[in-house]
Amino acid sequence: MIVEFILRWAHVLFGMTWIGLLYYFNFVQGEYFKEAEATAKADAMQKLAPRALWWFRWGAMFTFLTGLVLIHLIGADRDFAGQPIIWVGALAGILMFLNVWLIIWPNQKVVLGMKEGDGPSSAAKAGLASRTNTLLSGPMLFGMLGSKHLFIEGADGTGFIACVIIILLVQANALFGKTGPLTSVVGVIHCSIALTAVLWALLAFL
């Protein structure tokens, strides 16, 4: 179906924009800001970061919207609906989208001086939500690809419920917890891979 194909293409294109910038912020810009001279950092925060954040948040928005339409169009497919992997990925993606618009962007506006507020506190909140999104990006991609290419025979609701609980606990930490092992680039990458493996195991064996 040509409409479904176009939606899938758009969903992946917007997702590349969103997640590509997420990785840029976490792996490149954030590390650069730790070492940059004050004048260079100030210039980047005034001219570079707002542009990148515009593409970042709207990439997230249209990834989310095209994903909703895809789920609506093909959700009646029995094979699709019976695959818990896609719902694990969808839950991770929805929480990531909400983190962008409800936590990261509002707090980044304070950090960038676009509105008044507590700069250090806002930076910490945005940073933790951004690290959480990086952590969840592995499971989200796992769900997207697994729905078509990784059928788990015999998976039932127990593993899915366990996965949902874990993802919600990760999100709760984004709201009320601490960065912990997500502080470093290596730490967040390792944690994302480990989380994906745990969710896969839960779906496969519970």
pLDDT in tens, 7-50: 999 999 999 999 999 999 999 999 999 999 999 999 999 999 99
Distance of CA 28 to the CA centre of its chain: 17
pLDDT in tens, 103-152: 999 999 999 999 999 999 999 999 999 999 999 999 999 998 887 777 67
- pLDDT of 76 > 50? The answer is no
Task: State the residue range of the domain holding 81.
Answer: 2-205
Question: Residue 74 belongs to what H/E stretch?
Answer: helix 49-74
Task: Tell me which residue of 136, 127, 133, 125 sits closest to 164, measured CA to CA.
Answer: 136
Q: What is the pLDDT of residue 196?
A: 97
Q: Is this structure's pTM higher than 0.85?
A: yes
3-state secondary structure 1-17: CHHHHHHHHHHHHHHHH
Calpha distance 206→61 (Å, rounded): 34
What is the average pLDDT value for the chain, to the nearest integer? Answer: 92
At a CB cut-off of 8 Å and minimum separation 6, what does 34 contact? Answer: none
**What percent of the chain is predicted at pLDDT more than 70?**
93
Helices 84-99, 157-176: inter-axial angle, 10-degree rounding: 10
Task: Tell me which residue of 93, 169, 163, 162 sits closest to 133, measured CA to CA.
Answer: 93
Q: What is the pLDDT of residue 86?
A: 87
The count of domains in the chain is 1
